[in-house]
Amino acid sequence: MMNLNMSLAITTLMVWITTVLPSYVASQVTATTSATALSLEQEAKAILQSGWWSSYSNDTLQRCNWTGISCNDAGSVIEINPPSDVIKVGDKFKNMDFSSFPNLVFLSLNRHELNGTTEDFVINISSLSRLTHINLFSNYLYGRLSPRLGNFTRLEYLDFSSNQINGSIPVEIGKLKNLVTLDLSDNKLFGSIPSTLGKLTNLETLYLFCNSLNGSIPSTLGDLTNLEILYLSYNYLDGSIPSTLGKLTKLQSIQLTANLIQGSIPKEIGDLEALTSLQLSQNLLSGPIPHQIGNCFKLKLLNLSNNNLQGLIPNQISNISSLDRVDLRNNDFSGVVPYNFLEAMYHHPNISCYRIDAEIFGGHKNLATYSCSPVKKSYNLQIFLPLASFVALFLLGCLLLLWRHKVKVNPTSVLQATKNGDPFSMWNYDGKIAYEDIIAATNDFDVRYCIGTGGYGSVYRAQLPSGKVVALKKLHRLEAEEPAFDRSFRNEIKFLTEVRHRNIVKLHGYCLHKRCMFLIYEYMERGSLFFMLSDDVQAVELDWAKRVNIINSTAYALSYLHFECTPIIVHRDISSNNILLNSDLEAFVSDFGTARIIDPDSSNQTRIVGTYGYVAPELAYTMVVTEKCDVYSFGVLALETLAGKHPAEILSLLSAPSSLQNMMLIDVLDPRLSPPTSQLVAQNIVHVATIAFACLQADPKLRPTMKHVSQMFLSCQRSLSNPLRTISLLQLVNCGMHMEGSCQAPK
């Protein structure tokens, strides 16, 4: 009986499989296909009704190929990012039925002149549960920020910056647990910062600057352990800086400028080992600078000006060797300025030792002047500095007078050596390098010690008896007999004995004699930037952060030459061959053989010099050298550093920028490095590329100055509104053409 029942069951199952199941499956497939087709038809209808794409096509089947529209494999729209320079959505966006895009993930309508309330917008997109990216930067949205935003729990990027939004920040924002970037800057928001923001534990960038926010900074922000950027400047925040910020070990930049913040700077700031920028100026801070700030070894920018800070400037601040900008003006410091700090400032970029008072210590009662000879640690500056300054200036005047008459009288600085009865004069700043030491260290310039060739001589590595390693550039006898080489050699001596900057290679000394001429430089262990970029293994060592830093450092050095030197010095041969790297892969500008002083009373006409591929185009027809020639070369160098090779193809297309529309930035970056995963690194790359294109404008009058460039590197940068993969070179060119005080990354 059991066998009979089993046979019947098997027979019934086989009949169902062969007859019923195919019909059921077919009906389901048909239903699914119909639903998909209906959905795609709705999407197409919504796009056409909006009128956005009339300038492209009325063929809905081609919509996935339109610029600004991306679809999934099924043909459903997942990204809407229309180019604002081609299409202005404006009021048409009200016609869009966003419910027709159930699979939409990425929505970017920045700079589209949208006009309406944020509440209406959020209601319109309320059904889009898959959204991860909302960007409405720079429109005309107004009204309060809708609490309904808290329902979009998949959001990773939210940008409503540069609108007219008012009211308070809704506490519901704290529900967006996946948020990586929140940008509400440049609006009319008021009220306090909600403590619920501390729940956004994936947040990396928080921009709330340029609003009317008040109240204190919530201590819960200390729970944002992934935070890299915190910009709260230009509000009405009061209270104190919460000590909990010391827990944010990934924090790289803090900007609290222009608020009403009181109390002292918390000592926990010293726990922020990744910090590169600390800007607390224009507040009501009091008390001393905590000595723990000396633990922020990566700090580049420190601005504590215009506060009520008191007490001593801590010695530990001189431990921060990376400092590029320091401003402590308009405070009430007392006591002795640390000797080590003054000495360190002398070597800092873009700070002239004769202007330290004006640039840094404007409010220091006991610091009237400061000369290039640092004061001794044990003396009170109020008594010692006026006398020291007078003596230093007097001695400096005497030395300049002696130098003009070519009188060499300092036995520790001018060393005499004899070889075959001929006198050799060698200038040496510290009196510790003797001619005989150089000859012994190189075995009389044996080829075994030669490490390369420069523009007009061979370069040797020499280890002195003290253990110090130096580089020697030697002009060979035949080259010395050529007037052009001799002139370049003496030109380099002239400039490098007069300039002193952290990112310009240091000249230790030189020897001048018709039979033996050489320069003694600071030794750069890693060689030239060109050499490292040409080697696949070493190029990988230059990660994105190091490359950005190399470009920044070069900009600071050129700004110094153009604006801090009197008269102006133009390098004229900025290229990757002339950017040298030390053991820490820090950049130094070298090779001043073709440098030239700009005379405002002269035509400054010149022959074309420099490296092919870096020379500014106007030199070919004007033959007039200006500092804008260096700016162009810097732009080429910046792109080369990002691309890993000379950007010849890109340069050739700049005369017809429209051809760059389909060239994406991600595709021209050095393929030997992985694409950046950090939001901050990607932001820096875009910022550098934008500045580079600004420097490459054909009309030199439209290029920024190097001082402007160096300021832009320190300016407040907005976060990237679009993924790196979506940014074209044309966007960067357009942004570079309209750079003002600080061109923001393309949005």
Task: Look at the block and give the residue holding tokens 């010099």.
Answer: 609
CB 110 within 8 A of CB 87: no
User: Going along 229-311, which residue ranges are E strands?
Assistant: 229-231, 236-238, 253-255, 277-279, 286-287, 301-303, 308-311
The per-residue b/e assignment along 49-61, b for 16 or more CB within 10 angstroms, e otherwise, is ebebbeebeeeee
Give me the residues paired with residue 664 across strands.
728
Alpha-carbon distance of 219 to 201, in angstroms, equals: 14
User: Going along 315-376, which residue ranges are E strands?
Assistant: 325-327, 332-333
Q: Which helix (H) or strand (E) holds 635?
A: helix 627-643
Q: Which amino acid is at 35?
A: A
Instruction: Tell me, rounded to whole angstroms, the distance of Cα 645 from its chain centroid.
Output: 20
Q: Is 201 helix (H, G, I), strand (E, B) or coil?
A: coil
Q: Is 165 helix (H, G, I), strand (E, B) or coil?
A: strand
CB 113 within 8 A of CB 86: no
Closest CA to 556 of 521, 599, 587: 587
DSSP state of 728: B
CB 264 within 8 A of CB 284: no
Give me the residues paired with residue 517 across strands.
475
Alpha-carbon distance of 702 to 573, in angstroms, equals: 21
Crossing angle of helices 544-559 and 627-643, in 10° steps, is 170
CB 592 within 8 A of CB 571: yes
Alpha-carbon distance of 82 to 176, in angstroms, equals: 26
Active site residues: 573
Task: Look at the block and give the residue holding tokens 């930037």.
Answer: 529
Q: Is 666 helix (H, G, I), strand (E, B) or coil?
A: helix
Is the peptide bond between 242 and the residue preceding it cis, with omega within 30 degrees of 0? no
The encoded tokens of residue 458 equal 């061979």
Q: Which residues, other chains included, contact 494 with Cβ-Cβ below 8 Å and sequence gap of 6+?
A: none
C-alpha dist (Å) from residue 13 to 6, 8, 54, 354:
11, 9, 56, 97
Instruction: Tell me, rounded to whole angstroms, the distance of Cα 582 from its chain centroid.
Output: 20
Task: Look at the block and give the residue holding tokens 């970056």.
Answer: 669
Alpha-carbon distance of 103 to 79, in angstroms, equals: 9
Pairing of strands 308-311, 332-333: parallel
473 is in an annotated binding site: yes
Known binding positions for ATP: 473
Known binding positions: 473
